[in-house]
Amino acid sequence: MTATTRGTTLFETVLVANRGEIAVRVIRTLRELGIRSVAVYSDADADARHVREADEAVRIGPAPAAESYLSVERLIEAAARTGAQAVHPGYGFLAENAGFARACESAGLVFIGPSADAIALMGDKIRAKETVAAAGVPVVPGGRDPELAEAARQLGAPVLLKPSAGGGGKGMRLVRDLTTLEDEIAAARREARASFGDDTLLVERWIDGPRHIEIQVLADAHGSVVHLGERECSLQRRHQKIIEEAPSVLLDEATRAAMGAAAVEAARSCGYRGAGTVEFIVPGSDPAAYCFMEMNTRLQVEHPVTELITGLDLVEWQVRVAAGEPLPFTQDDITLTGHAVEARLCAEDPSRGFLPSGGTVLALSEPDGAGVRTDSGLSEGTEVSSLYDPMLAKVIAYGPDRATALRRLRAALARTVTLGVPTNAGFLRRLLAHPDVVAGALDTGLVERAVDALVDSEVPAAVYAAAGKLRQGRLAPARDESWADPFDRADGWRLGGTPAWTVHHVRVPGHDPVEVRVRGAEILVDGVPAEPARLTAVAGDWLGLDGDAWHVQDHDPVAASLTGAGSGGAGSLTAPMPGTVTVVKVAVGDEVAAGQSLLVVEAMKMEHVIASPHAGVVTELDVTPGTTVAMDQILAVVDPLEATPPGARGCVDQPLRGGARSATTDPHPPTNQMPHGEEAKS
C-alpha cells in the first residue's frame, strides 16, 4: 500500500531530535517526501552519519546526553534557528517526554507524535492500566502503591515488581519467594528512583513462559484508528528485545483480530494520534488470555517488520498525520503479506558476558540484496563510545514465509562486518538457528535458557591459524625485491635441512595466549595442526568470520614472565569494557576481602562492579571517579596478603564494607537503558 498526497501541505523543514540509526532512518523518509531535514549533534557526533546525511546540522552541546540530546531548550533553539516547522523525536531520549511535546507546542512547533496528554497518561503504567481497563481491554491482575506488599501477597508468588514511571528492565524484580518481598521492593524502589526520579511501583501476577506480542496502531486527528497487525517480541535477554518478527506464529486470525481490536480501543481511550504500540503479555498455552501491559507512545525500534508485511512507511504516516492528513484507508484495507524478522546489532561482547563494547569501526559491510534491509547509523571510521546506546544497526529480512525470512536473516548476519567494534551478530545468527526458534516455540525466557550454548566463549583454532598465516605473510619480502638473503627469509629456510618453524605468540583479550607455529603450509596452534579459517573480513589485527570478530594481538611471553601484578598479573583489576569509572571505594594501602566491591565502571547505562579477586592490600590505584577507561586497562592492583610486606598494609580499624557481591554473581544483573535507542521494554 503506497501513501499518496491528498492535498495536505506537508512541512518544509523537520528537525530530527535524535542520533544514530533512527535519525538516519527518519532522514531517509523526509528526503523521499521532499522535506528538508535538520540533524542535531553533540561534540561526540560531529562526524556521525546522520549529520552527514541531513540537509543541515546543528551542534547542540557537549557529549553527555543531558547537555545535548536531552536538552529541551537547545533542541527548541535549534529548530527555531533553522526554520523547522516540526520535530521528529525518533525513539528514546525525549520521544516519550510529555514536557518536550508541550515545549514544542508552546514554541509553535508540531511534535510528530501523540499529544502531551496521551504521552503522560500512557507513560504512567498505573493510570494506563486503569484507563484501558475502563475501555474493556483485559489487563494483567495486580496492585499498586501504597498497598503494594498486600497486593503481592494476595496475588501469591511469583509476582513481578515494576516501576510505574518507566521501563527498560530498570527496577523490575521477579519475586518467587515472598519471604524476600520487602527486600525486593526496597531494591526495586532504589533502581526506579535512580532511573526515573520516581520510585512508585506496581505489582503484577507473573505468567510463566509468557510471550510478548505487541500491536502496531496508527491514528489520525480525525477519529480514525487502525491496527497494522502484531509483532512477536518474545526473544529477549534481560528484558531486552533482540529479535522481533511479524506476524506471530502463535496467533490465529480470530485472536489477531481480537487483540487488534483491543489495541484500537486502548488507543482511543487516550485520544491517541500518530503511530503507537500496544504491548500484551500472552500465555503460550492460551493465546486468547492475552493481557495489556503498556502502550509505547512513539515509533518502535522494530517498526521495519511491520513496514515490510504491510507495505506502509510508518515514518511517512507519522509525518502525514502530524500535518493533519486523514488516513485514506480503513481496517479492511490492511493486509499482511509474507513474513519479516529483525535482529538488533549491538555493541556488546557475548564472550565477555554481553558487556558493552566500543572502538572505531575499521571495516564495515552491511548486508543487502533480495529480501534484506539494513537500518544503520554506522560508517567506516565511526567511533562507538560508551556515551550512548549500544544499538548500532538493525538487520531485517523478508520472505514469502517464515522459513525463508529466517534463512535470509541468518545469511545476512553472517555477511555483517563491523571490525573494530565487537558486536552480537554471530550470537544472533546462532540464536536464529536454535531449534525452538526455527519451530516458533518462543517465550521470553528462551534466550536466557539457551545462552550458554549460543555464546562461542572459545576462540576457534582456525582463527588463530588464520592470524598466524596473516602474520607470516607480513614477514615475506616485497615482491619487487630483486634478491633477498635466504637466511633473512621468514619461511624458515635452512641450507640442506628441514625448514624451521616460525613462531608467533598471540592473544585475544579475555583469553590465554596461544602459540602459533608456521612452516610453509603447515600450521600448529598450541602444538595441534590447524587449518586457517576462510575469513569474512580482515582489518589490521581484527579478523571476522560469519558475524563473529576477534582482535588478535601480539603477545610477548618473555615480557609477560618478567612483569608483576602491577603489569597485568593475577592481582591486576582491569576494565571489562570501555567506559567511565563512577565509584571508587578504596585507597592505596587499604586491606580488602576476597569479593569486596572496589570500583564501579559504567558504560551505556550499564554498571559493572569490580571486586577483589582475593584478600589482599591495594598497592596501586590508577583511576578516580570520572576517569574514562579503555577495555582491559588496569584500574587497580591488589597484592595477596601473604605476598604483601607487613609495612605495606593499610590500617583497618573498622569491619570491611562492600560485601562479596560482584556483577557476575548478582542475581539481578544490571540491564541497559538505551538513551537514544529504545529502552529495554520496546
Please state which CATH number belongs to domain 141-205: 3.30.1490.20
Beta-strand ranges (E) seen in 164-290 are 173-175, 201-205, 210-219, 225-237, 240-246, 274-283
Q: What angle is formed at CA 591 by the lines to CA 588 and CA 594, rounded to 5 degrees? A: 120
Which residue type sits at 547? G
At residue 547, the pLDDT reads 96
At residue 290, the pLDDT reads 96
Which residue type sits at 530? A
Residue 244 burial (10 A CB sphere; 0-12, 13-18, 19+): buried
Which residue type sits at 655? P
The Cα 311–Cα 326 span in angstroms is: 18
Do 48 and 353 contact (CB within 8 A), yes or no? no
Grid cell at residue 62 = 557537549
Give the predicted TM-score (pTM) of the model.
0.84
Residue 420 burial (10 A CB sphere; 0-12, 13-18, 19+): buried
- Sequence-distant (6+) residues with CB within 8 A of 527 are 515, 517
At residue 194, the pLDDT reads 81
Residue 178 burial (10 A CB sphere; 0-12, 13-18, 19+): middle
The Cα 63–Cα 22 span in angstroms is: 18
CATH class of segment(s) 1-112 = alpha beta
What is the CA 631 to chain-centroid distance, rounded? 18
Grid cell at residue 558 = 618473555
What is the CA 43 to chain-centroid distance, rounded? 22
Q: Where are the domains of the chain?
A: 1-112, 141-205, 461-532, 564-648
Cis peptide bond N-terminal to 532, omega within 30: no
Which residue type sits at 436? D
Which residue type sits at 345? L
Chunked mean pLDDT (size 10), the chain, 682 residues? 57 98 98 98 97 98 95 98 98 96 98 98 92 95 88 92 77 89 90 85 88 98 98 93 97 97 98 98 93 96 98 98 98 98 96 90 96 98 91 98 98 98 97 98 95 92 97 74 65 76 92 94 97 96 96 88 53 85 92 92 80 92 90 88 54 32 35 38 40
At residue 498, the pLDDT reads 81
At residue 226, the pLDDT reads 98
CATH class of segment(s) 564-648 = mainly beta
Do 502 and 493 contact (CB within 8 A), yes or no? no
